[in-house]
Chain A
Amino acid sequence: MPGTKLDAQYFGRASWTRRLGCALKDLKSDGRAGPFVGSHVGVIRQLLTDPDAGPRVVINIGAEALLNFLATGCYKNLYEHPVVGGRRREPTPERIQVDKWLSLPGAHRFYFAAVALGGAGVRFYGEYCMVLRPERIPPDTRIFDRDSYDLLQPPLSGRGDDAMQRLAGCLRGTWQADLVDMLLMKMLPRLPSTRHLITSGQVSGLVMTDQEFVEVHLEGPIQPSDIEQVTQLPDEPAMEASIAQRQAGRQAPSAVELLWLKRRREVAESLAMAKVPHGLATQGGRGYQWT
């Protein structure tokens, strides 16, 4: 079954720089650009190329996994984890398929991460967001414009194997050469109104929205010394305070809450001991960016 027809410009084979150039030109020529687009792009480019406050590679991780990482110095990917229950006989067909389309040489050596500009990453993957030092990211590190498993979902799915591999190739890039143009290309349709200049908080939200992000295929291993800082959303400390408030009102926390509080205390102590900066991030990413 042939796949749904996709936007030829975005899903084309040209470099991300060329794709962006063409997209901007088209916007101007057909009058959709508005007077602010050029300035928006200028602001975004400035924010994304700032060496101190620019985009970072982030990995979300749970408390227990973070404690083990700090203690053993070993961040584990899927292939290295002990398993509860029986083992699947073989990797999922979905994983085999997507890894093949991504043309990853030796998938077990790669650690999947995301690009963020401030914020606290994707909460679903763990309450702690490890921000990696920029110098840890080799310039030729591979990036992918979305969660690569979206290749299995319509409208991208439903093409032949060769077509999927070509499509995956179109959505790929490298950290130094393509990140800014790839991000700009993703942001273009979502740029704000034509009356105000875009802000850094809005840009942060456009770099990563919910679980929509640019994927990074980082060749391992990752070590605690690679962590620039650990951030988290204010939600967790708010939950801690809420539990403490209930406790003060003689309402006992559940066993799960007690264990959760214990782990959080251990993480705070371990991060302090490892001298890893640990802070809160607002969702917009303003005011708490990599300082």
Chain B
Amino acid sequence: MDVNSPPPPQGWHVDAWSVRDGMAFASYRSPDAITTATSSVFIGVPGLDVVPLGSVSPALWAARASFQDGLHDADGRSIAFDDLGQVRELVRRGFLAGGLGPGAPETGETPRGGPPDLPARLDGAFRETLLHARRMEFPGAAGGAAQRDEFFRSLCEPGTSEVVYELVRTFALAVVTLWRHRAAPLHEWSVGDAEDLLGWTGALFSVLWLHPSDALEHARRFDAELDVHEFFHAWRRWEYGAAAPPNALASAAPCPTRAGWDRRICRLSDKLLVLLAMDSALERMSDLGDLAPAILSSLIATRPPISGLLPYRDHFREHLRVALEWLSNQLPQRRLPDAAEQAIEQFVRDRLTPAH
């Protein structure tokens, strides 16, 4: 090495990373020599707390186990981070991106299918609703959290919240239609799958302040062959507290697609996770209909502030405010170095590629 060349810049570097398990070791050092580290830490889900370590030995050891060896750019250089906040953000978004796709092989893929013209019908229904909406500008990452919070607040305003409600309800009914369109009748489903559907449908009525008869009427636009007894069963289970609150990211709820949507997305939760993992996903949206799946998942994640058995729309607006605040807090919070953003985007794309 030329003795006159400046020493490589110090920064935070990932020493070992278990991306899908949300754990990483990082140290403050030069890019090429891990043993120059002056500080070494561990970060892991669910708390993402920073745990100081006495040496880099645990990080090196982790790379002998199920951790990947550092994080490098396309040229094989270790990516430097400005501070530990950025490293935490990387671990958080990598973990969320790891929830995408078919998941662990034993979980299997969500069955596709459903009415063949569902995307066109969904598109048509969205278009009809959006005729009554003002044009929305989706905030870019450069605008920061303040601009994004302002955007989400604007969705709760009178006039706009009604449009959001219509879009989310339409989308929710399309989800149920697609889900129920499986070949086997419900009594032939596994107990777990049937519980999932009923629990989720019950929650749906609750978060959308929707009565089953109302739901059935609206579902007709998809020519859905929905069973009124199933709907009432789900509703009553929710009403009497028999159904466990659903985990918005655990359900097998399928994701209906609009004409322009990525057809590799199989599960409803995938639509939310893409938004949470990729810094640019929000600004790439074309209209409010694109945001409907994430809003629906957020409504389910936050549940209504009071028992949701009465169809009072005003309560929906309050719940929407809580749900969008939650969504805003889960979206990318920090911009990562470009190479790290590219690595996350590539990981998202890889996760969505169906296994052959």
Contacts and interface: CB of A to CB of B under 8 A. Distances in A.
Nearest to A63: B21
Contacts of A92: 34, 60, 63, 69
A261 B340 contact: no
A270 interface: yes
B98 A88 contact: no
B261 to A, nearest CB: 21
A70 B34 contact: no
In the complex, which range does the number of interface residues on chain A fall in?
A: 35 or more
Given A71-B105, A112-B65, A84 B55 contact: no
A94 interface: yes
Contacts of A59: 65
A260 B22 contact: yes
Interface stretch (A17-25, A36-44, A149-157, A280-288): A149-157
Contact of A258 (B35, B104, B248): B248
Contact of B343 (A85, A88, A252, A260): A85
Interface in A196-243: 211, 239, 243
B154 interface: no
A266 B73 contact: no
Contact of A78 (B34, B63, B98, B303): B63
Contacts of A89: 76
Given A84-B68, A85-B340, A112-B64, A256 B42 contact: no
Contact of A81 (B66, B305, B340, B346): B66
Q: Dominant SS at the A interface?
A: helix
Contacts of A243: 46
Tell me the dominant secondary structure on chain B's binding face: mixed
Identify which of A59, A68, A112, A260 gathers the most chain B CB atoms within 10 Å of its CB.
A260
B228 interface: no
Given A62-B18, A63-B21, A256-B46, A86 B64 contact: no
A256 B57 contact: no
Contacts of A259: 45, 95-96, 99, 249
B106 A67 contact: yes
Contacts of A247: 245
A153 B57 CA distance: 8
Q: Which of B35, B56, B65, B347 has the most CB of A within 10 A?
A: B65
